[in-house]
Amino acid sequence: MTLSAEESVADEGRHPIPVLPDAPVRREYRRRFDLLRAVSWLASASVVVLLVFILGEILTKAFPAVHRFGLGFVTGIQWSPNRDVFGVLPVILGTVESSLLALALALPLGLAIALFLSENFLPDSVRQAIRFVVELLAAIPSVVYGLWGIFVIIPLVQSLGGLLARHLGFIPLFEGPAYGNSLLTASLVLALMVLPTITAISRTALVAVPNSLREGAYALGATRWEAILGVIIPTAAPGIVASTILAFGRAMGETMAVAMLIGNSQRLSWSLLSPSNTLAALLANQFAEAEGIQINALMYAAILLVLLTLVVNMAGEAVLRRTQKATAGLA
Amino acid sequence: MASPENFFSNAGRQTSPLRLLRNRVLTFLCVSLSLLTLVPLFSIVVLVVKNGLSLVSPSLFTQLPPAPGLEGGGFGNALVGTVVMVGISLLLAIPLGILSAIYINEYAPASRLSGAVRVVAKLLTGIPSIICGVFAFAVVVLPTHQFSSLAGGVALSILILPTILLTGEQALLGVPKAFREASFGVGATHFQTIWRIVLPQALPAMMTGIMLAVGRAAGETAPVIFTALFSQNWISSVMQPSASLSVLIYNFASLPYAYHVKMAWAASLVLVTLVTVTNVLTQIVFRKKYS
């Protein structure tokens, strides 16, 4: 039976048909036209073209503004659409500042949870539950964070910020008057929103630390925290750094919650307690009513946002890839 | 020389109390920091449920929003608008995403095109969601001179494309290689193998990815806010501005009317329920798959 294919070929050969003996075999194995292959190739090609198209489309629409304002757009500190003056330096600073502050708040918390989830402080079932809760934090829509921030964080910052301004107002960072809609408000909510990113990626890095390293540390007499601080965290450090960079990228792109809380002011200010703006929030607030050159200016701002997040994300991914290679070598 | 018992005993080399104390303190710190993060989450869930539930009634889902200052009515038009826009986005993103997933996993996993598709999908995940809105504004709103739910749907489709593509690829990767080999072994063509063997196996995981995308798209506001805009009325055509639950939350959140603010909370309740359900279902499906 196993030889049937060969036999049939041989049979064909014995019959006086006007084809070459191996013709049926050839036809059987010839590559047929596969519609699904063609269609799916087309889909893949369009996905790649799509990204080029998106960037190209935004660039084209931004071109009049790029042409007219040049680099002065990036360094200008005035944004007044009714006079056709557009400068986004305060907005870029607001974007970076609010995201950095959010990271500073979120990193200790995220790292604590990641340690909690990767080391055996708790039984596995509890860890699963905490992990699920943190993942849920990531799934809550941005606009719901904004709504919650208006009713919980703004009053909090108003009372807390008043105190800060009264007692530490001599430091430019805490200069009054304290507004509810401020950089600090946005950063507090942003910290909550990037927490899942930090936790998830740091946890992966911590779990990837080989058990032999933990065992080695304990065998040398290290306490649990000496092992964590002296061996586990240093080994996982590149992954934790990557998680922070990627969280930075996410924070800069977050739109709705920030747009609802930051106060949307393009004025340059040192104080964390005064209103500010971010690139994403600027786009969200001004696109619907924009006309003429303002649309082009906003497209220009969109390009800056894409560039910022793209560079940060690519850096994060690069660190992450190197981390994975490095820990793979340890195991 | 120490006898074995002495060698392994701890006598005389106990860990110093100071080190033990430090250990305790750090554990305590770690626990309290972790618990601290549960506070805001708890607060969000409680407020959304408490403020949202007070308004839930059949009319909330079937009626139009009240005029400013008035009470009564619901967000029926926003609900329909969200469904329409998410529907449009799925219509655009599912074929593109799933077909690409099939190509990069089944036909040419190692080709340059597949590599490029993976990179593009990764980049698209990292792009801020508002950029999807900017793109739809440029390609739909500007040429048609019209804010529309079509533009909103296009924006959302860009947003969910990478989710569908990447979960689709994961779903296909989850199908054991032996299935494909067996199928080729009995003489099936590439197409027959994919269509009859691989896709049915991968379907549940693919559906999960799509559900995840639905949850995300329904809650996203940034891509819709200046493409579909908002409307007080029922949706009449996809070429007209349309209300959506997410933009309703944004618009009503800062209004000085208590009833409108409550409607924002109720809309949040609907969205948070949706994402929770889709996430729990995802967990269940994937845990079954991999345990």
- Band (A107; pLDDT cuts 50, 70, 90): very high
Distance of CA A57 to the CA centre of its chain: 23
User: What CATH number does residue B257 fall under?
Assistant: 1.10.3720.10
Listed range (A14-18, A85-89, B204-208, B239-243) with the worst mean pLDDT: A14-18
Asked if B41 and B73 sit in the same domain, the reply is no
Asked if B144 and B262 sit in the same domain, the reply is yes
Q: Are A272 and A177 in contact (CB under 8 A)?
A: no
Asked if B44 and B170 sit in the same domain, the reply is no
What does pLDDT average to over chain B?
91
The predicted pLDDT at position B5 comes to 54
Residue B161 has pLDDT above 50, yes or no: yes
Contacts of B265 in chain A (CB under 8 A): 147
Asked if B65 and B50 sit in the same domain, the reply is no
Q: Using alpha carbons only, what angle is made at residue B162 by residues A297 and A305, rounded to the nearest 5 degrees?
A: 20
Q: For chain A, how big is the Rg over CA atoms in Å?
A: 29
**Token pair 């949202």: residue:** B52
The predicted pLDDT at position A172 comes to 83
Distance of CA A210 to the CA centre of its chain: 27
User: Where is the domain boundary, B38, B55, B72?
Assistant: B55
Cβ-nearest to A288 among B37, B190, B226: B226
Contacts of A113 in chain B (CB under 8 A): 33-34, 37
Query: ipTM of the assembly?
Result: 0.91
pTM of the model as a whole: 0.89
Asked if B168 and B40 sit in the same domain, the reply is no
Asked if B20 and B133 sit in the same domain, the reply is no
Domain that holds residue B87: 58-290
pLDDT, average across residues A141-158: 95
Asked if B101 and B160 sit in the same domain, the reply is yes
- Band (B232; pLDDT cuts 50, 70, 90): very high
Contacts of B186 in chain A (CB under 8 A): none
Residue B286 has pLDDT above 80, yes or no: no
The predicted pLDDT at position B13 comes to 64
User: Where is the domain boundary, B15, B34, B55?
Assistant: B55
Q: Are B75 and B65 in contact (CB under 8 A)?
A: yes
- Band (A30; pLDDT cuts 50, 70, 90): low
Asked if B102 and B243 sit in the same domain, the reply is yes
Contacts of B249 in chain A (CB under 8 A): 143-144, 146-147
Taking one residue from A and the other from B, the number of pairs with CB-CB distance under 8 angstroms is 243
Spatial separation of the C-alpha atoms in residues A30 and A19, rounded to whole Å:
16
Asked if B150 and B83 sit in the same domain, the reply is yes
Count helices and strands in chain A by DSSP H and E runs: 15, 2
- Comparing B97 with A173, which gets the higher pLDDT? B97
- Band (A130; pLDDT cuts 50, 70, 90): confident
Number of C-beta neighbours around residue A60 at 10 A? 12
Instruction: Looking at the complex, report in whole angstroms how far the Cα of residue A170 sits from the nearest Cα belonging to chain B.
Output: 30
Listed by number, the residues of chain A in 178-207 with a beta carbon closer than 8 Å to a beta carbon of chain B are: 192, 195
Asked if B121 and B201 sit in the same domain, the reply is yes
pLDDT digits (tens, 9 = 90+) for A225-234: 999 999 999 9
pLDDT digits (tens, 9 = 90+) for B171-207: 999 999 999 999 999 999 999 999 999 999 999 899 9
